[in-house]
Amino acid sequence: MRIALIGTGNVGRALAKAWAAAGHDVVLGSRDPAAKEDLAKELGVPVVGLAAAAEHGEAVVNVTPGTESVATLRTAGATALAGKLLIDIAVGFTEEPHGLALSHPGVSLGEEIQEAFPEARVVKTFSTMDAIVMTAPGDLTGPSTVFLSGNDPQAKQTTATLLTDLGWPESAHLDLGGIETARGQEHFALLFMGIAGALGSYDFGLQVVPHRSNG
């Protein structure tokens, strides 16, 4: 599959490398691709402009800072995103006097992106973990859960396949429902930061453990 990651930070780099290794045709999208030539050589993945990346991808993955995501995706172009799977991983934070807070507490970024690009098929996933866990779930000491939120069943199925390519078995996938359920995924970010502080590490997973009466 042709995959375009919009953003060249740690998450984008890790996913680009892992999906390319799984056999996908991957590009990274940047506002300034000429400045990322060394990155392209390091990863073995082309870095192109935002519009070119969006045009390339059958699946487009938002790995930009959450506070900039909608504006950056607009630069990539609504026409290029129309009808495509748009996987949103980002969470936006603001710095408050007493610590971090979500930049969009009343509605999820996933919903904002779906509203801004109504012809795209938005799926929220991977926002409850760090990049190292996204691409190497087998390195965890036990099973972990990955969540999916979105309105389009086929888009979620395609996303699930891409997750499987990264080592996430179907048994680890939990479909939460429509894109509005992305609020729960994103709000977990605050608990994630607390757990990371307690463990002294971001490298952990979250497992949903049902009661035996449910199984």
Q: How many CA atoms lie within 13 A of 142 on its CB side?
A: 5
CATH number, position 114: 3.40.50.720
Q: Which residues constitute the domain of residue 43?
A: 2-214
> Using an 8 Å Cβ cutoff, are 100 and 93 in contact?
yes
The pTM assigned to this predicted structure is: 0.95
Helices (H), 102-152: 109-116, 131-135
Print pLDDT tens along the chain (215 aa).
Answer: 999 999 999 999 999 999 999 999 999 999 999 999 999 999 999 999 999 999 999 999 999 999 999 999 999 999 999 999 999 999 998 887 777 888 888 899 999 999 999 999 999 999 999 999 999 999 999 999 999 999 999 999 999 999 999 999 999 999 999 999 999 999 999 999 999 999 999 999 999 999 998 76
**For the chain, how many structural domains are there in total?**
1
135-169: per-residue pLDDT in tens? 999 999 999 999 999 999 999 999 999 999 999 99
Spatial distance between the Cα atoms of 27 and 59, rounded to a whole number of angstroms: 11
